Amino acid sequence: MTTNYENIAEAVRTGEEDVVQKLVHQALDRGDSPQAILDEALISAMDEVGQLFEQEEIFLPELLVAANAMKAGVEILKPLLGEDAIKSYGTVIIGTVQGDLHDIGKSLVSMMLERGGFKIIDLGTDVSPENFIQSLKDNPETKVLGMSALLTTTMPEMKTTIEALEKAGLRDKVKVIIGGAPVTNAFAQEIAADAYAPDAVAAKNIVRQLVGEED
């Protein structure tokens, strides 16, 4: 990690949004790639913060300010990530499932898909099966439905949503992709999702495959 990235990571950990934004601008000004700044400074800082939280060295308030500081950095990188935003591969509806308020990973996936040529309808967090279904009805051109879950307690909502899609007669109309830290490929198969992606870049590639537009 370069010194600048260490400083960005430190500012994420301490929740200093202004400092994060200043240092991200500095890294861009000196020619660093937005993807490197995202991966090597922001995501790796958040991983570290997650570990500190797991080890009970920091608590929820610190976790929240760090998450907000990371988001402040991501906002700057957002318009710069990805190369082929002009193409349109179709519409993707995405959301974090009911009962789950984690949105950083889901927003990264949205961003990566958007920059990868998809129209994104981001329903945000705590999205009920009914809301997913209503959005599908409102946007019948949708090709893919994406669900994110970060809690083991909310993962079952993915299954509930897929069952609700079946009941509404919409399951055959869309491909379903799921992801989030506790989610696995095996779980995706178990609940009959069409795909699982471990991270945002993989999500973009897999969604392209799902709509028959792989590189």
Position with the least CB separation from ligand B1M: 105
For residues 54 and 4, is the Cβ–Cβ distance under 8 A?
A: no
User: How far apart, in whole angstroms, are the C-alpha atoms of residue 19 and residue 2?
Assistant: 16
Output the smallest distance, CB 133 to ligand B1M, in A.
17
CA 80-84-118 angle, to 5 degrees, is 100
- Tell me which residues touch ligand B1M (CB under 6 A): 43, 46, 49-50, 53-54, 60, 63-64, 67, 94, 99-106, 108-109, 146-148, 150-153, 177-182, 197, 199-200, 203
Kindly give the residue spans of alpha helices, DSSP state H, lying in 55-118: 60-77, 104-115
Which residue, 3 or 55, has its beta carbon nearer to ligand B1M? Answer: 55
Output the smallest distance, CB 4 to ligand B1M, in A.
20
Which residue, 46 or 72, has its beta carbon nearer to ligand B1M? Answer: 46
Which residue, 133 or 151, has its beta carbon nearer to ligand B1M? Answer: 151
For residues 177 and 193, is the Cβ–Cβ distance under 8 A?
A: yes
Output the smallest distance, CB 76 to ligand B1M, in A.
16
CA trace torsion 53, 50, 96, 175 (10° rounding): -140
Burial class (CB in 10 A: 0-12, 13-18, 19+), 152: exposed
Which residue, 9 or 109, has its beta carbon nearer to ligand B1M? Answer: 109
Output the smallest distance, CB 111 to ligand B1M, in A.
10
The amino acid occupying position 183 is V
User: How far apart, in whole angstroms, are the C-alpha atoms of residue 210 and residue 36?
Assistant: 27
Which residue, 11 or 200, has its beta carbon nearer to ligand B1M? Answer: 200
Output the smallest distance, CB 182 to ligand B1M, in A.
6
